Amino acid sequence: MEIYNNEKDNYISVWMTKEEQQLFDRQELTDLLLSNVKNKKCKVIYFLSGNGDLYSNTEILLTRNLGCA
């Protein structure tokens, strides 16, 4: 798990693997992270590993975003 505190920009980003998603309760983690910030408008953003193939999913995403689909 990687946690980046961007409190000055009003968010904390958390990157989790599939295994970590099973180990940690996101609501509890969110409460813990927000209890340590001064800025009460701060939000926690989660980036979660998926089940598909990274390269093919990235290709599909980029193609759709470029309007070439």
Sequential pLDDT tens for the chain (69 residues): 999 998 889 999 999 999 999 999 999 999 999 998 888 789 999 999 888 888 888 888 899 888 865
CA 37/CA 12 separation, integer angstroms:
10
Q: How many CB atoms lie within 10 A of CB 16?
A: 19
Question: In the chain, how many domains are there?
Answer: 1
Q: What is the pLDDT of residue 52?
A: 83
pLDDT of residue 46: 96
Which distant-in-sequence residues (6+ apart) come within 8 Å of 40 by Cβ?
A: 34
Show the domain range for 51. 2-66
